[in-house]
Structure 1
Amino acid sequence: MKNLVYKALAVLALSATFTACSNDDEVIAGTGNLGLEFDNSFAGNDLILDTQANTTASNEVLKISSIKYIVSNIVLTAEDGSIFTYPKSSSYFIVDESDATTHVLNLKDIPAANYTKVTFGIGVDKAQYEAGATGQGDFLATADAAGMMWGWSAGYKFLAFEGTFTSAQYTTAVPFRVHTGQTGTDYNYTTVSLDLNSKALVRQTITPQVHIKADLSKILNSTNVIKLSDNNPNGTGANIMGGANLPLITANIATMFTVDHVHND
């Protein structure tokens, strides 16, 4: 009986060794696809437009009617340190909370690898803007149709955050608008780098999806604290589209994204 047990254990050990060798010797080749899913929330709560009351760390209550932002210049880093830069001509997207078809960015023809980091911009980088209107390809018309342009001379809106708010000072709801982009000497483009909490296994037969949470509460309350009440001088609405607060908000935007999980399906 002991001999049978020893033989069985030996067979299991040998099987495990072959399996480990098989996994280690996997040939990773060709290209595949990958999805980046952007999921907007507010202080841990799934976002509901128009009706949901969202309380900021400054005790202002926001009802958000619209949130849109441009995601650009996507770069993937693999576990071996190699970097894949998504083609610039195809690397500009608009995430619009009101349009579910924009929430997943479908990236194609990515070299097969185990990816551990994603980097992207929020906005349109200055080099691209300086390529002129004719250098924007189809994205200029797309951004204009989405309301993400101030006009060509003023440039793109990188993030558009709108709704109404109340506070201890303003008990009747008044509108707010926060638009980032090129203003004066500040370009207000920002880059986000996120480590993945598990590897994205891009293969010919596997299309990973990286689920990225965007916490909108951090637009106003993060590295910098911005009160809408302080930007409502005549009581009819807070409009932050320039001035000293916009670079502070841009710094906040860089902190609002986290990786929730990775699907390898």
Structure 2
Amino acid sequence: MKRFLTFALAAALFSSCSDDDDNQIVTPVTPGEMSLTLDARIGNEDFALNKDFAVAGQTLNFNKLRYWVSNVVLVDTKGAEYKVPDSYFLMEEVSDLDLSGTINDKMTYPANKRETITLKNIPAGEYKTIKFGIGVDSKYNDNLSLRTGELTIANGMSNIAWMWHSSYLFTSVGGTVKKGADSKAFTAETGLNANYKTVSIDLPTPVNSSTSKGFVLNLDVIKVFDGIDVMANPAINAMTAPLMSTVSTNYATKAIIFGSEAK
């Protein structure tokens, strides 16, 4: 009798599952990793330090390119947003930087090139848009003692002289500019809360987190200076607020475009 009842129960359960074709079991997919690459360019050329680039009658030679990428958000095809936690990353291409505070306190930041970051624990799905900030949002920019992601003042991306309070540098690019016989050192730095900008890139086709390694975007450094004569304006910072605002806007609206899908 017990065997008969067991068999009958099993048969009933099997029949119930077989008759309901709409009730399909979905196996959960473990969140994975995706990369975000910002490939620095000079027009159609690859960006490089200590190399001459001829642009609009001037010759630019760079010794640094540094900027914060923050608050990364992925938008799927249904419009749902996934905010990557603690996503504050320093992107850069620099030679050794002297960050000495005094002659007796020598500190050297080592040469580094970083164009790719890893986004962890990304939910499985198809993503159509990627958003992120250029710079540091006011919560952390107004209080350098707060820590999240890679934020730290130890890398020299902060300034204690701007607008009577300490804050992060959002972007910093510099080198030399030549025009004819004239040559000048130039530095373009941005910061301050009003210049925190959000980039939003719509992808030509959605990217599937299960089959793609990530996203590749292009950063055209020359477009950072769109509308600005670098020779005439070799020092861009908080003391030249309109120019700093222009550079910040250029980062967000002109310099960064879709490159390709990482394979």
Name which of 217, 229, 232 aligns with 2:231.
229
- Please give the secondary structure, in 1, of the residue aligned with 2:248: helix
Q: How does 1:195-210 map to 2 (within 5 A)?
A: 195-203=202-210, 206=211, 208-210=213-215
- Please give the secondary structure, in 1, of the residue aligned with 2:126: strand
**Cα distance between partner residues in 1 of 2:156 and 2:41:** 22
Matched, 1:172 2:207: no
Question: 2:255 matched to which residue of 1?
Answer: 256
Matched, 1:193 2:200: yes
Could you say if the C-alpha distance between residues 229 and 215 of structure 1 is closer, same or farther in structure 2, counting changes exceeding 3 Å? same
**Cα distance between partner residues in 1 of 2:79 and 2:149:** 33
**Cα distance between partner residues in 2 of 1:50 and 1:71:** 24
Question: 1:157 matched to which residue of 2?
Answer: 169
**Matched letter for residue 177 of structure 1:** T
Which stretches in structure 1 are left out of the alignment for 5+ residues?
Answer: 1-24, 232-237
**Cα distance between partner residues in 2 of 1:166 and 1:26:** 62
What percent identity do the matched residue pairs reach? 25
- Please give the secondary structure, in 2, of the residue aligned with 1:145: coil
- Number of corresponding residues: 216
Deviation at 1:27, TM superposition (A): 6.3
**Cα distance between partner residues in 2 of 1:46 and 1:123:** 23
Determine if contact 1:199/1:262 at 8 Å carries over to the other structure: no
Question: 1:148 matched to which residue of 2?
Answer: 157
**Cα distance between partner residues in 2 of 1:212 and 1:44:** 14
**Cα distance between partner residues in 2 of 1:140 and 1:37:** 19
Please report the TM-score for the alignment, with normalisation by the length of structure 1: 0.75
Deviation at 1:251, TM superposition (A): 1.1
**Cα distance between partner residues in 1 of 2:201 and 2:38:** 13
**Matched letter for residue 192 of structure 1:** V
Question: 1:241 matched to which residue of 2?
Answer: 237
Structure having the higher Rg: 2
Aligned-residue Cα RMSD (Å) equals: 2.1
Describe the superposition over 1:18-74 as per-residue Cα deviations: whole angstroms up to 9, x where unpaired.
Answer: xxxxxxx99673311110011100112111211232414xx3221111101100000
Q: How does 1:49-198 map to 2 (within 5 A)?
A: 49-56=49-56, 59-87=57-85, 90-98=86-94, 99-100=112-113, 102-130=114-142, 132-137=143-148, 139-141=150-152, 144-151=153-160, 153-168=165-180, 171-182=181-192, 187-198=194-205
Could you say if the C-alpha distance between residues 80 and 248 of structure 1 is closer, same or farther in structure 2, counting changes exceeding 3 Å? same
Could you say if the C-alpha distance between residues 197 and 51 of structure 1 is closer, same or farther in structure 2, counting changes exceeding 3 Å? same
Determine if contact 2:75/2:129 at 8 Å carries over to the other structure: yes
Please report the TM-score for the alignment, with normalisation by the length of structure 2: 0.76
- Please give the secondary structure, in 2, of the residue aligned with 1:105: strand
**Cα distance between partner residues in 2 of 1:73 and 1:54:** 35
Describe the superposition over 1:148-177 as per-residue Cα deviations: whole angstroms up to 9, x where unpaired.
Answer: 111393311111010000125xx2321000
Deviation at 1:121, TM superposition (A): 0.4
Deviation at 1:201, TM superposition (A): 1.4
**Matched letter for residue 180 of structure 1:** T
Which stretches in structure 2 are left out of the alignment for 5+ residues?
Answer: 1-24, 95-111
